A and B are shown apart, each in its own frame.
Chain A
Amino acid sequence: MDELRQFLAERAENGLISWASQVAAAERFRTTLAQVEETALLLEILPARYQRNRQAINIAQQLTLFQGVVAVAGCGGLGGYIIEELARLGVGTIVAIDPDVFEEHNLNRQLLSSPARLGEAKVESAAARVAEINPAVALVPVQIAYAPKNAAQLFQGVQVVVDALDSVSTRLALSDSCDSLRLPLVHGAIGGWFGQVVTQFPGDGTIRQLYSRWVEGKGLEQRLGNPSFTPALVASIEVAEVCKILLGTGNTLRNRKLSINLLDMEFEEIRLDGQDKAVGQ
């Protein structure tokens, strides 16, 4: 380890270590790229790939992100962009959960899909993509559907959960699971030109408020579908929320729903009083 540290310190220039040097270090010391990255960050040497993160994210924060564990429930329209952005941001471990394979109707918007990947498990595509764009990040593919009974196992060691699901009943169950496991949950939902984001901390009950009138069925996305830009936007806002939660910085969308209307280009904040539980509860 001392030798690895010395190697990295010697190869660093202006506080940055190049990707080539990270790879050389991993090979020479027979360790993982992840180990090299963490060692560098602990030495306050920034992997050069993150140099455009600063000053938005400093070296200590980059280390915090690298030591972060985030679960993404759903790897479709929202989930694909979320995984891409978390990996590029430098979040060290991403647990990707989805039972599905790519189908042709995913191609209009799902970042990880391509004609060559039709029929491939979404979580396997996610793992391949992350290995390609940031090999220091671990993508843990879990090709099963989230369910309350597997929540404790899926979210073991996880710090933040991202809701990128596509059914209200599963979203509500995920919200309850995160509540009982004391995990923050970043909720995003889309349909056509419209979307919404809320960040829920344990006990807030805000996601149940969003769907307080729901009885059954899907939302307006069933009629409108989802064009390419809505998931990209909502996913990006969700990742910004995850980043702030991991770093303990900024202000999140806690107790407020960001209501997005791209047709009229309106972004509206709806206050959701933490004490004002959903009607009928």
Chain B
Amino acid sequence: MDITVKLFATFRFGRFAAATRQYPPSTQISEIIDELQIPVSEISMIMLNGRHADPDQRLRDGDSLALFPLVAGG
């Protein structure tokens, strides 16, 4: 199935800004995070099709996943 993955800020470093990628059916969000080697502790917000999501949620063909790193400096 096709999943569009959007990465924000530092998550793009050495990866990509946005890409539509192939994954096996019912892949979990956490599996994509692992595949991209993004430390879970650095993720501030996960959005799936514009709604907040948990890492254990399973994906469907055509889903759009966005990962945001923690930004908290002042």
Contact = CB atoms under 8 A, between A and B. Distances in A.
Contacts of A177: none
Contact of B74 (A164, A192, A210, A214): A164
A209 B45 contact: yes
Contacts of B72: 166-168, 171, 189, 191, 211, 218-219, 221
Interface string A202-225: 000000011111111111111110
A213 B74 contact: no
A264 B51 CA distance: 25
Contacts of B74: 74, 76-79, 163-166, 188-190, 231
B69 A219 contact: yes
A122 to B, nearest CB: 12
Nearest to B68: A259
Contacts of B40: 213
Contacts of B47: 270
A276 interface: yes
A226 B12 CA distance: 18
Interface residues on B, range: 20 to 34
Interface residues on A, range: 35 or more
A187 to B, nearest CB: 10
Contact of A196 (B41, B42, B53, B71): B71
Contact of A215 (B41, B50, B51, B69): B41
Contact of B71 (A77, A189, A213): A189
Given A79-B74, A194-B71, A220 B54 contact: no
B57 to A, nearest CB: 9
Nearest to B42: A220
17 contacts: A77-B73, A163-B74, A189-B71, A189-B72, A191-B9, A194-B8, A194-B71, A209-B45, A211-B45, A217-B70, A218-B72, A259-B8, A261-B9, A270-B68, A276-B51, A279-B46, A279-B54
